[in-house]
Amino acid sequence: MFKKKYRIPYNLPVEFSSYEKVIAVFLVVIIPPLVLSDAYVEYIAKQTMVNYSKIVLQVVLYIALIATTLLKLYQIKRNNLKPRQLYRILKLIDIFLISLLFSTLKYGMFFCFIAFVPIVSICITEGFRASMLYVLYAMVIQFLSTLLIPDIIGTEATLIKNLNFSRELFIITLYLVFIVLLKILAMHNDLHTLRELDNQKLLSELRREYEQLEQARNERHEQFEKLKEVNFQLEDMNKKLTASLAEFFTLQQISQSISSIFDMNELLQFVNDIIIGVMGVATSNIALYNSEGNRLKVQVTNINNARERALLTDNINSTALKECLDRGMTIIDNSVDPDKYPFTKGRNVRSLICVPLQVKSNGYGLILLEHNIPNAFDEDSVRLLEVITQHISIAIENAKLYEKLQEYANTDGLTQVYNRVFFQNRLREELNCAKQQGYEVSIIFFDIDDFKAYNDTYGHLFGDMILQAIALTVKESVRKDDVVARFGGEEFVILLPYTGKEMAYEKAEELRRKISELVICDKDNNVARAVSVSMGVSTFPTLAKNETELLNSADEALYIAKERGKNCVALAQPCTTEPWFKGV
């Protein structure tokens, strides 16, 4: 009935250990009195002499039983209270020894039920079915003992003889009774086990509910503490916001204004004017790091006196200000010592504040405010300037990022020279200025001779190396105001402001010669080839009257150079035909 609803978990560790200890004590204690009583009854009834061989056998069997019991308990302890194969073997030995021991007694058949005692723990821990194997084993041992030691056993008991019962029938009847008792015990143990499981389940649920309640209580307590902390923070923030409402309104206006300016010079000048107006200082100066990032340079200042400006510019990299930048800390000094700040000597500076310009770990420079009265600045001044500086630092970073973005947008990714779109916009602007101011503008069109052959022979990666090497050579050989651009594929163009056709032709020839002297190797130095270019030169307004004619005539001159055998320069002729090239 129970096994249909539940699977009974036998071999519970705690009960298993307890049962074995009780059975071991029972066997060790009960056997000696039974053996002695049997010997006494036999001696009184028969007045026979003591059978020493029989006593020796009984002692040996008893000692063997104790040894197996101790070994069994040791195995149970070592195996964490779980039955193992050796344990079952020792159980079988126990049954054998007990059956054999009581078979040596005169009236041992009345005590053969003692052999059932080890089976009780099997029934409890492993179930009724498992115990039946041991019962069958005990029965077989009981009958075999009659055949093995018949002389020691003696004749049947008088009581059984009078009742016309054989010894075997008596033992079988006793075993059947014991089997019934085992079944009853197994059912009772199942009920007990189920109750224990229910109790354990209930206890586990109660423990889990208690833990959940405890966790919920802790969470509520933590939430309450957090709410208290947040409430204190909100109150503190509310006080600060109330006290600084006007100040933050000013900062908001500053932030909105500077966030829309991306030109660095315009941004710094605007910021400097704002600081002078908000802080009411005598001088305001902004210094930024140079391109190498190791020296400060004054970018904006409201100092008009040339001597004072030069004094500030020459000493802006003083030790005190560098310390401010290195530590990322604000300096406030309301009693300026000129020896400590060399840039203040002879300038009547009595108070100053220096705040570093930085975003996270990126330092850009500093803002230096000066006043000609002592004790001009306080902690509120420092706090306000630090907040303004944070906005300015972000604006400077945005301006630098915008400049980089513009540079990336106008630059060819492979050769790092300007791209075609930037060149044509720049050419259009330069021609408009040339028309207004009356100067000449020249361009040089050139492309790489037999470039496809290089790609087909050595691969496109080697072709890219050729493009990069030529672009770098040209960039390093032109003036600062000249514009080098990649026009498309292997075609390049150079814009030369304030340059006539003769000077442009000479420049083209110089560049052609430098390029022809280049030796370009791959990364493994396995391939080395000299390259050459063909160039076409045209000039506005001498050879072309507008942008389209200028580009068209330079391109035609390039093809003339190709027809002449490549690796040469051709000068364009005045354009007299309808141009095929349409500008963007």
As annotated, the active-site residues are 490
**What HEC string does 439-474 produce?**
CCEEEEEEEECCHHHHHHHHCHHHHHHHHHHHHHHH
Element (H, E) at 246: helix 245-258
Give the type of residue at 46.
Answer: K
Residue in the structure block whose two tokens are 């791959």: 522
Among 397, 318, 401, smallest CA distance to 363 is for 397
The token pair that represents 63 in the structure block: 């000692």
Distance CA 88, CA 117 (A): 15
Among 390, 386, 346, smallest CA distance to 369 is for 386
The 3-state DSSP class for residue 384 equals: helix
Element (H, E) at 70: helix 52-78
Among 573, 453, 451, 456, smallest CA distance to 515 is for 451
Question: In this structure, is the dihedral angle defined by the CA atoms of residues 219, 222, 228 and 231, taken in order, positive or negative?
Answer: negative
Q: Give 348-353 contacts, CB < 8 A, sequence gap 24+.
A: 348/372, 349/282, 349/283, 350/374, 350/376, 351/375, 351/376, 351/377, 352/377, 353/377, 353/381, 353/382, 353/385
Distance CA 89, CA 78 (A): 16
The token pair that represents 447 in the structure block: 């492309």
Residue in the structure block whose two tokens are 């063997």: 64
Distance CA 174, CA 99 (A): 14
Question: In this structure, is the dihedral angle defined by the CA atoms of residues 334, 339, 340 and 345, taken in order, positive or negative?
Answer: positive
State the DSSP code for 411: B
